[in-house]
Structure 1
Amino acid sequence: MKRVPRRQLIGTVVAILFAAPFWPILPANAQTFSSSYTSTAPKDCRTIGKPSAEDGSTQVCPGQSGLMVVISEGDLRQTVSVGRTREAAAKEPAAETWFGPFNSTANTVEWRAVDGKPFAIIQRWLIADIDNPDKTGNPTSKPMLAVTRLPPGPVCHVAYIDGQANRNANELARQAADEFARDFKCGKDEVKVIGEKGAAVGLAKR
């Protein structure tokens, strides 16, 4: 067996002890955040009623982890809620949260999850701006992202991010979901405006 010189051995031990404080230390309860996506396109959902009917229509769309997304439309305005059943989703605060201007939602829902368990959704809304019509005289659509918390606990809007005023709107929405959604108290906490407040958020908050 080759003998290691004493001076070399001491130098190696000192180097290890000096480097030890700089080794990365991961907390025992480190959580893993992730995103997955589902569709609310009519072809992927079950439609109840007719969009042209006076009472509007409802779309029931499969989500994640046994949850479903329920989109109700009436008078060219939509509400979006989530629940284990359509009846459960209809009783959530989100089912009663609507915006004054005409509006619609995009067909993709982003699900934020921690360790595989979804706790919030992010969805793009288009808010009609009747004060700024296009060349044909129709209202222009202003994009906005809405963060909605999920069970356990009530389902409600947590944060709004203006899609036109913030170039990193998707990143801001994920950050808002991760930081605020799980502890947000529906009916008590005020919906947060994240980033720059643009036209869409201004219209939605009227």
Structure 2
Amino acid sequence: MNYVTFATAAMALISMNLDQAGAQTIGSGYTSSAPKDCRMIGKPGEDGGTTRVCRGKAGLVVLVSEGDLREVVSVGRNRQAAAKEPAAQAWFGPFNSAAHTVEWRAKGDQPFAIIQRWLIADNGEQDKDGRPTTKAMLAVTRLPPGAVCHVAYVDVAANPNANELARQAADEFARDFKCGTDEVKTIGQSGRTTALTRR
């Protein structure tokens, strides 16, 4: 191998290594929004409502507010910022609660969406004790930069691959979603749970 050929091969190898080093993969990390892992803010309101702030990823916090047996979840650099986001006003009509595991979708070390499982009360179907049954749904929420809002819902019962669908939705369009302009998408097969959230 002459010098020119060696130099060309060496430059190609260096370029390939730089490309690989610069390529950031998309993956998931997890945090908890369970009350024991969060900081409670103030005292419960007259309706028994509570607010807690939970540690997230990359300097973000998760704000969980509950009132009248309904929850909202928002994300921001701090509690005040999270409370001003559209997600902080994203109430579902039926009684509901969010699961305590928050999945963070991130490119490299920069999160761009969270995925959470929600349980939605179905007043049209009661259990043996006469209480509403609950239906599971995954909600995808976009993160800063830009506004924080729901971008997609996945009905868990109607989609055996619900987690995969939610991650795909987060990866493909959460970053470009325009809160207040774009409509929240139902991903995969629609089911009873996604119907309940549209009321």
Taking structure 1 as the reference length, what is the TM-score of the superposition? 0.84
Distance 1:93 1:52 in 2: 22
Cα deviation for residue 47 of structure 1 reads 1.3
Q: C-alpha root-mean-square deviation of aligned residues, in Å?
A: 1.7
Q: Which residue of 2 aligns with 1:102?
A: 95
Contact conserved, 1:42 with 1:59, CA < 8 A, in 2? yes
Contact conserved, 1:145 with 1:173, CA < 8 A, in 2? yes
Q: Out of 115, 134, 154, which is 2:108 matched to? A: 115
Distance 1:54 1:161 in 2: 30
Q: Out of 133, 157, 160, which is 1:164 matched to? A: 157
Q: Which residue of 2 aligns with 1:44?
A: 37
Question: Which of the pair has more CA radius of gyration?
Answer: 1
Structure 2: gaps spanning 5 or more residues:
1-18
Contact conserved, 1:34 with 1:116, CA < 8 A, in 2? no
Q: Out of 129, 133, 139, which is 2:126 matched to? A: 133
Cα deviation for residue 49 of structure 1 reads 3.9
Distance 1:28 1:46 in 2: 38
Q: Which residue of 2 aligns with 1:93?
A: 86
Distance 2:45 2:121 in 1: 19
Q: What secondary structure sits across from 2:82 in the alignment?
A: helix
Q: Deviations over 1:48-90 (max 9, x none)?
A: 2455742611011000000000010111111100001100000
Counterpart AA for 1:110: E
Q: Which residue of 2 aligns with 1:184?
A: 177
Counterpart AA for 2:101: T
Q: Which residue of 2 aligns with 1:174?
A: 167
Distance 1:54 1:139 in 2: 20
Residues 1:202 and 2:195 aligned together: yes
Q: Percent identity?
A: 70
Q: Which residue of 2 aligns with 1:11?
A: none
Counterpart AA for 1:127: I
Contact conserved, 1:51 with 1:73, CA < 8 A, in 2? no
Counterpart AA for 1:146: A
Q: What secondary structure sits across from 1:173 in the alignment?
A: helix
Counterpart AA for 1:167: P
Residues 1:60 and 2:53 aligned together: yes
Q: What secondary structure sits across from 2:51 in the alignment?
A: strand
Taking structure 2 as the reference length, what is the TM-score of the superposition? 0.87
Contact conserved, 2:58 with 2:109, CA < 8 A, in 1? no
Contact conserved, 1:57 with 1:73, CA < 8 A, in 2? yes
Equivalenced residues, count: 181
